[in-house]
Amino acid sequence: MPNANTRLPLFGKTALVINATCAAGEAAAEALALAGARVMLHYPDRRDAAERLAERIRNRGGQAMAFRADPMVVGELRSLCDVLLAYWGQPDILVGDPSHGAALLAALGQTDPPPVLLSYAAVPDFLAAAKAGRRN
């Protein structure tokens, strides 16, 4: 019998959520994790909030890790991406403020295929489409 998690629409996918400790980031991270994605939780501050979020996701059977970085400091963003690549490989989904997209893509380097870039507000529609595609 197949594992129930393999039927989740984002099973095997990796998401990086920038500023996962803001309300919108937290909601996006939890929704992606519930859909089966492994989630890297970026936080600029509030480590305790990021660790609590990661623990909530893990307690529900998901995979999450938290990493502190200033998205405006190239070296810190590169370190975040290096850890993500080492643990889970290239991300499939990047979520956050659109202003961080270019910096994240530069820090990740060339990826094939490139990750999907989503604003926090776009996550529910993305998940609905993923779920619909999984049923077909």
Residue 113 makes CB contacts below 8 A (sequence gap 6+) with none
Beta bridge partners of 67: 42
CB 17 within 8 A of CB 101: no
Angle at 49 between CA 48 and CA 52, to 5 degrees: 85
| Per-residue pLDDT tens digits of the chain, which is 136 residues long | 345 567 888 999 999 999 999 999 999 999 999 999 999 999 998 899 999 999 999 999 999 999 999 877 878 888 988 999 999 988 999 998 877 777 777 777 777 778 888 999 999 989 999 888 765 4
Two structure tokens written together for 58? 């893990």
* Entry pTM: 0.88
Phi, psi (degrees; rounded to nearest 5) at 95? -125, 135
